[in-house]
Amino acid sequence: QVQLVESGGGLVQAGDSLRLSCAASGRTFSVYTVGWFRQAPGKEREFVAAITRSGDSAYYADSVKGRFTISRDNAKNTVYLQMNSLKPEDTAIYYCAARPRAQLATTQADFSSWGQGTQVTVSS
């Protein structure tokens, strides 16, 4: 298992940007594909984005496509989520998750390691 710690959340206004970080420790990070999920109050956790082991490919939920960018730096054992043009509906707890597989995935059950989450609040 790999241990994950998210950071970078906060309170921003609509239209602002934030960059979330997911720092990993434990086993070799480069063998894991990584995803970001989010959970808004009263809603189920949903997929946001995922990135391959090498970082050469990514996949996004339609709701964030064109506004969010996922990237990784394996030398730093860190995955990032750059969030631009934030909207109030992006308000949620954001979680990063990892799976020791090459294929991208979008379902929570496909990920075996999870962080504790970081709160993002976007005011209108």
How many CB atoms sit inside 10 A of residue 46's CB? 14
pLDDT tens-digit map of 74-110: 999 999 999 999 999 999 999 999 999 999 999 999 9
What share of the chain in percent tops pLDDT 70?
A: 99
Is residue 37 within 8 Å of residue 94, measured between CB atoms?
yes
How many CB atoms sit inside 10 A of residue 7's CB? 13
Strand-strand pairing, 68-73 and 78-83: antiparallel
What is the pLDDT at residue 101? Answer: 92
What is the pLDDT at residue 1? Answer: 81
Residue 39: both structure tokens together: 């959970």
What is the pLDDT at residue 111? Answer: 97
What is the pLDDT at residue 26? Answer: 74
What is the pLDDT at residue 110? Answer: 96
* Residues in a beta bridge with 97: 35, 114
